[in-house]
Structure formats: C-alpha cells, structure tokens
Structure 1
Amino acid sequence: MQEKSVSMIVVAAGKGARAGGRIPKQYQTIAGKTILRHTLDALIRSYPFTEIVCVINPEDNHLYEKSVEGLSLSPAVKGGNTRQESSFNGLKALTAKCDLVMIHDAARPFVSDNLIKELIDSKASATIPGISVTDTVKRADPQMNIIETVNREGLYSVQTPQAFDYHMLLKAHQSLTTASFTDDSMIMETIGEGVTIIEGDEANFKVTHPEDFKKAEMTIMNRLADIRTGHGYDVHRFEEGSSVILCGVEIPHTHRLKGHSDADVALHALTDAIFSSIAAGDIGCHFPPTDPQWQGAASSIFLEKACEMVKDKGGIISNIVVTLICERPKISLHQEAMRMKLSEITGLCKERISVQATTTEKLGFTGRNEGIAAEALATVRLPL
C-alpha cells in the first residue's frame, strides 16, 4: 500500500501573553534552544514530512529566522488575527501535494514519535489526541461563584497535532471564513464531518504559563541524562601589539597574543573543553594551524563549531567555566563583557557561564608577563 503523503503546519503566530516574558513564548529559550526549535526538532525526528510550514507574526521574523537556522523548511507564512485565520493561511501556503495535513501548536515541544504515528495511521478523515478529564469540573460566573458541577463523563482535554484529510479541511476553512474557532477540529465538527479522538499523551503539554517553563526544562534535562565534563588548556605568548582578544572581547594592552588565528587563548581552551566532552578530538584536528584559511580568523568560529557538534548529537551545553592565568591585563574589569560575549556565541544564559582569573604570583612564564594561559571546563548533557 502506498505511504501517505503528510505535511505539517506549525502555528507560531501568537503573542503568548500568559507566559510572560519580553518576547513571545515560542521564542523563549529552554535548555539552550527556543521552544519553537525544540518543537520542530521533535517533529523532524518523528517523521519525514513532505513539507513543514510555520505560521508566524511578521514582526517576529528575526526571532523566527534565528530559531530555525540550519533547518530545511518552507518559507514562513504570515499569521492572521485569529487561530483559524492562521491555520487557513498555512493550508493555502502548502506547495507539496499531500493526503494528510497535521496542525500543531508551536508551544508543544514534547510531541512523541508514537503519537505522530498513531495519528497518521488513523483511518478517519479527522483525528485528534485527547486526555480524559479526571478532575471534577465546575462552571463559574465572572465573579468566580460556582454555577454548577459539570458531568465529566466523556469530556476530553484536546491536544495537537491534529490530523485531517487535506482537501476536506481546506474546503471546510473556505466555507467558514467569517467564523472563529480555537482549533481545526471545531471546523470539521461545524460542517458535519466526524472527528475521532485517540489517546493523547500527558507529556505532550502546552507551555502556557510561567511555571510551565520550569516543567519543560525539567523534562528536557531528564531526557539528557548522559552528563559529561570536558577540559581544555591553552597557552599563547605575547608579541608586539596594542591589544589582546580574550573570550571574544578586545582589551587594550601593551602587547598582543601570537597565534595563527586571532590567538584568543580563552576561546581555544573552551573549544577544546567542549570537543573533549564529546570525545571529538581537539581544536587542531578541526582547524589545523597549517591551513591558511584560519590565518587571523576569529576564534568564535571554532567555538561555534564545537557547540554545533553538541547540538548535532541532540545534546546541550549546561555550564562553562573559563579561568585566565596572567599578571596583565586586569581581567576583572572585563569579566561581565566576556560572559555576555560567551553567552552570545554559545547561546547559553549568562547565569551558566563563569569567567575567572588568577595570577601565578610572578612565577613561571605568565608571572614574567611572557604570555597568557587559559583553562576551561564544559559540562554537556547528551541523550542516553
């Protein structure tokens, strides 16, 4: 039997005001990645979709582009004023011919492979996941006075993704453009088409309120239970110059550091620490000093590569420590700028980054102001 052609629409146009924060919740970061990126990564792992279209608010395009960097997706589509309009815009934007279309909330990052499979395997023209309501349900007035107790028998809390016959759903949207619905299954119900519920997944919760972010981070961390620590060490001598670059920050000084690249001893040590945590060799293996393309290169390139390799393994960097060993320049004046730069390069929040410094009490080559040494530790979490 021929396999179904399945496309996916991810609705990511909302403001997510209930979640708090300065930016919409789908672009807020959990464990090193935005919620939207966690969601897309889960979908891409679960099934080879014919096409994936994200529906976004154009005002958030810069946040969206950063979230989906490196992914092969169809161009994003402008969202509407309502959830229904956004879904309809996504349907109209699909370019691939598909039998089945699935519509998913951007803020449900824990959709499972099994749930996707069950939805695709369903024989119904409309299938949605739902969780039986087990708590007692009350209806209240605007003043929060109880009006009645609702019979919970047959009640379900509905989730996404929801799966539909593509042509049937498109036709339903086209016939109901003046109405407003909170999910696509309501549209099918309104035109008289049957909708089938399958058992949902408690883990497939929607990040809606501030406390959901903590729950989501705990969920991710529990899945990344292979915890590793990597160590890196590097040394660069001084030569004639007027500044040094440390942790990506240029600092005025009486000399500069000598090296094939920009000689950022701190980033070299940190890059090696990350490489060692995933047993990926050292910086020289990936960026040989004999290769002319790295002459004068920014060391942030090396660190970004190491971070990308961790992501490729499905892992995250959870903590980094850099220790600079020198008499001069004075590091304490620049520590915050260094932490901010490391956060920018790695995507790790500043609270998980430590930059510290020490001297050798005028002993050894650092004590004689001949150069700078750096040590780094990186803690990485990978899937088991």
Structure 2
Amino acid sequence: MSVAVLIVAAGRGSRAGEGVPKQYRLLDGQPVLARTLQAFLAHPQVDRTIVVIHPNDLDLYQASIDLLPPSLRDAILPHALGGETRQDSAREGLEALAETAPEIVLVHDAARPFVSSALIGRAIAAARRSGAAVPGTTVTDTIKVVGQQGEVLSTPERATLRAIQTPQAFRFGDLLEAHRKAAISGLHAFTDDGALAEWAELSVHVFEGDPANIKLTHSADFKEAERRLKDHAMTYLTRLGTGFDVHAFTDGDHVWLGGIKVPHDRGVLAHSDGDVILHALTDAILGALADGDIGTHFPPSDPQWKGAASDRFLAHAVDLVRQRGGVVDHLDATLLCERPRLGPYREAMRQRIAQITGLRLDQVSLKATTTEKLGFTGRGEGIAAQAAATIRVPERVE
C-alpha cells in the first residue's frame, strides 16, 4: 500500500510565547519542522510527504526544508495552504493529496519532532489492519470530570483511558470523505482527525503510542526538549561491511544484475532472482550492522522467497540501518564475470540501486572485472560480485 504523510504546520503556536511559530523555532540549532520531516522522510515505508503551512510562513518553511539532505527533499510534495482551524488545514492537505491519492495517510502535528521510526511503522501497520487508528499512551494520573463550578462529576476508570498522539493513520479515501462530510455539515472545530473519524462513524482503533513522542506546546516544553537532546547526545560511529555472492549459470535468456534485467544467453541457478550485485550489497550492509547475512533474514528454505526480487532484500537492509538511527554513506560493488558486459547497463543499475536505497547517485559505485579466464567465472560457469558498504550508526556519548 502506498503511504503519504500529511504534516499540519499552519498553526500560530501562541501558547509557546512570542517569536516565530513554534514549528519553526530552533531546537538544538535545527527548526522543529525540519526534525519532524526528517523522521518521516527517512522511513522506508513512507512514499511522499506534504506539509500544510500558514500563508505568512512561506519563507520560514522554505528555510526549514532547505536544511534537509537533497535525497530527502525529493519526497516532499508542493506545500498546501492551511485554513482557519486545524481541521480546515488537514482537509486542505488531504485535498492536495487527492490528485495522487495514496492508500494510507498519516496525519501528524509538526510540533512533535520526537516521533520514532518504530512508532511510524506501528501507525502504518495499524491503518492497514483497521483502516482508522490513533496512537495512545496509558494515563498514570487519576482523571476527574468536573462541572462548571469545579465540582467533580465522575472519575473514569483509569485503565480505560488513553492519551492520544499523532501520527494518526487512516485509509486515505475514508478520511477525505469524513472531512468533506464535516465541512458540508458546517463543522470546523475537531482538534484531531481521530475525533472527526469517530463523528463520521468510522471504527477507530488505538495502537501503542510512545511517551517520548511529546508535543511542544509551551515555552517550558522547549526547555525540556533542549535538555533531553543534550542528555541524549549522540556521536556517529563509521562502520564498514563487505559482501560476496556467487551463482552458477543455467539455462535461460537473462540475468538480473543491479536491479536490471539484462539479456544473456544463460540464466542463473538461484532461489530468488539471483541478482549477485544486490545480494552482495545486502550482505555488506548487514555486515556493517553485525546483523547476520542475507540467508539469516531471508532463508532459502522459506518458499515465500522463491523467485523474489532482490530489491526487497537490499531495501530491508537499508531499513535496518535507519531503524537504528543510522545512515548509509556509500555503496561500492564489483561484478566478476567474463560475460555479460556491465558497460551498457552500468548507469541504469546505479540509478536503480540509488532508487532502492534512497541514496544519491554519487553514493553508489559500480565496477566490473574479468578474472583473466581463471576460475569458475573465467570458464563461464557462473557469475559473482563483491561489495562494500559504509554506514554510520549512533553511539551514545557518556
């Protein structure tokens, strides 16, 4: 299912004190919105993102996204302009997404910059299961319902209560229809999409939230967030991993290399599509993570991987890096064979690998060599590839 993220960033944030709107305030030197965007743009299951902004904030918005890596900015759609209420702004964002309607949409507050990759993954999974889902955390304080004079009317059972957060996740068509229905009814005051979905009689489910996913509302929240960032200061450790893969030739009329179908007078004997370049790159990344090898994650004994496209394996390895808060810096692969020749397909392969991994083209290197007629590759009995991957993973500063 295609997944889009709608980030609502049109509010004024007056409770946070004077100055620029809170979504553009600096948090440890980086605008809050840039931090929030980066969390979603780096997630492998998110296809595209749209931000709804206030008409007066175009320069602030542009300055925030300009700080993001170019490879991430490509997944940001043109911004939408917000309305008078949060509900109106969310609807404007949904209408803007309707031209390329995703199957799943996550709606998130710009002022929640600590959203984790794991929480995003839970939101997407919950939407796929139930169609409408919101993250919630358990309530630790006793809650009272009070009247106009401050008198206690009731004390709800704490075990049944949840504090609701974002990202809230929905089937796109259902949420857009609910928003349109509310607008036609003259309702504009819903403060979250889950409540609007309930009003529209959608069945809304609650999945596990994250206590760390705080919303920055008051000036004190910014002070606490700064303290938290300093207490959790990280440094990045560079790691290098290597990979190697080999497949024997068999009857066929093509081979898969670097994610590209290459015509050839032979095929390869393999459980999956036998793409030695993508297999070697996958193992190189897993090696840098010290997280087993391709057979550990995709055992050949499992029939679901029979004939599987190897881009899934490489995307999974990159996802593991990002789940740990890391980044892939560079990939380098060398094809070992007499035939087929790499030259005519090299750039297409580099582009495909960059697409699979979300890297820039200049972060992907691809080479080829023969073995001077020596060994099984020299005799034309098979094909091989070796690869190296450089990654950075966070390490806590003590």
Pairwise TM-score range, normalised by the shorter structure: 0.5 to 0.7
Q: What is the root-mean-square deviation of aligned Cα atoms in Å? A: 2.2
Q: Which runs of 5+ in 1 are unaligned?
A: 229-312, 315-381
Contact 2:4 2:104 (C-alpha < 8 Å) held by counterparts: yes
- Matched ranges for 1:234-383 at <5 A: 383=394
- Tell me the equivalent position of 2:31: 34
Pick from 64, 67, 70 the counterpart of residue 67 of structure 1: 64
User: Which amino acid is 2:209 matched to?
Assistant: G
User: Which amino acid is 2:196 matched to?
Assistant: I
- Tell me the equivalent position of 1:116: 120
- Equivalents in 2 of 1:10, 1:31: separation in Å? 21
Q: Secondary structure at the match of 1:23?
A: coil
Alignment of 1:9 with 2:9, yes or no, is: no
Pick from 187, 191, 195 the counterpart of residue 186 of structure 1: 195
Per-residue displacement from partner, 1:324-352 (whole Å, max 9, x unpaired)?
xxxxxxxxxxxxxxxxxxxxxxxxxxxxx
How much has 1:42 moved relative to structure 2?
A: 1.2
User: Which amino acid is 1:157 matched to?
Assistant: A
User: Which amino acid is 1:160 matched to?
Assistant: T
How much has 1:146 moved relative to structure 2?
A: 4.7
Residues 193/129 of structure 1: CA separation in 2 closer, same or farther (3 Å cut): same
How much has 1:164 moved relative to structure 2?
A: 0.2
Q: Secondary structure at the match of 2:144?
A: strand
Contact 1:47 1:113 (C-alpha < 8 Å) held by counterparts: no
User: Which amino acid is 1:23 matched to?
Assistant: V
- Tell me the equivalent position of 2:216: 207
How much has 1:37 moved relative to structure 2?
A: 0.7
- Tell me the equivalent position of 2:88: 85
Q: Which runs of 5+ in 2 are unaligned?
A: 238-325, 328-392
Higher share of residues assigned helix: 2
- Equivalents in 2 of 1:37, 1:60: separation in Å? 14
How much has 1:38 moved relative to structure 2?
A: 0.8
Alignment of 1:58 with 2:55, yes or no, is: yes
How much has 1:141 moved relative to structure 2?
A: 4.7
How much has 1:148 moved relative to structure 2?
A: 4.4
User: Which amino acid is 1:62 matched to?
Assistant: D
Residues 143/194 of structure 1: CA separation in 2 closer, same or farther (3 Å cut): same
Per-residue displacement from partner, 1:280-310 (whole Å, max 9, x unpaired)?
xxxxxxxxxxxxxxxxxxxxxxxxxxxxxxx
- Equivalents in 1 of 2:229, 2:42: separation in Å? 16
- Equivalents in 2 of 1:58, 1:121: separation in Å? 34
* Percentage of identical aligned residues: 40
- Equivalents in 1 of 2:147, 2:107: separation in Å? 32
Q: Secondary structure at the match of 2:134?
A: strand
Contact 2:101 2:172 (C-alpha < 8 Å) held by counterparts: no
Contact 2:41 2:48 (C-alpha < 8 Å) held by counterparts: no
- Tell me the equivalent position of 2:101: 97
- Equivalents in 1 of 2:83, 2:9: separation in Å? 11
User: Which amino acid is 1:185 matched to?
Assistant: G
- Equivalents in 2 of 1:173, 1:105: separation in Å? 17
How much has 1:216 moved relative to structure 2?
A: 1.3
- Tell me the equivalent position of 1:346: none
- Equivalents in 2 of 1:53, 1:132: separation in Å? 30
Contact 1:132 1:155 (C-alpha < 8 Å) held by counterparts: yes
- Tell me the equivalent position of 1:216: 225
Q: TM-score, length-normalised on structure 1?
A: 0.56
Q: Secondary structure at the match of 2:169?
A: strand
User: Which amino acid is 1:96 matched to?
Assistant: T
Contact 1:129 1:161 (C-alpha < 8 Å) held by counterparts: yes
- Tell me the equivalent position of 1:139: 145
- Equivalents in 2 of 1:202, 1:165: separation in Å? 25
User: Which amino acid is 2:114 matched to?
Assistant: F
How much has 1:147 moved relative to structure 2?
A: 4.8
User: Which amino acid is 1:59 matched to?
Assistant: N
Q: Secondary structure at the match of 2:145?
A: strand
Q: Secondary structure at the match of 1:194?
A: coil
Q: TM-score, length-normalised on structure 2?
A: 0.54
- Tell me the equivalent position of 1:171: 177
